[in-house]
Amino acid sequence: MVELEDLNDAVVRKFIEAVNAGDRDGFFALLTDGATMSDDGSERNLQEWVDREMFSAEGQLEVESQSDDGRSLIITASNSTYGAMRTYWRFTVEDDRVARFETGQAG
């Protein structure tokens, strides 16, 4: 596992810290206006997805590995709805904020 302080990208680190702390306001402050996301290749409403999958379901992200200077991660994502699953996360960071993230089940 990769400790959060060892993540190469500070914005991605803050994103994961906010999720793990249940800090919804802090999380959304890290996003650009108009930020987008996809789950398993399908575009999703970011706010609805994050509230359902993360904040109302006690979501936690544990980083297994990183690449692409810390913007591509393999994460064990867990929540009270689905339990734990191995997932990939890819981030697009612009002006020190997340403009887009893509996630889905990792092979």
Examine the pLDDT at 8 and tell me if it is beyond 90. yes
Please, which pLDDT band fits residue 107 given cuts at 50, 70 and 90? confident
Residue 46's CATH number: 3.10.450.50
d(CA 89, CA 101): 7
Domain count along the chain: 1
- The rounded percent of the chain whose pLDDT value lies above 70 is 100
3-state secondary structure of 96: coil
This prediction has a pTM of 0.95
Q: What is the pLDDT of residues 10-33, one digit of tens each?
A: 999 999 999 999 999 999 999 999
If one counts every other C-beta atom within 10 angstroms of the C-beta of residue 66, the result is 19
What residue numbers bound the domain in which 79 lies?
A: 4-105
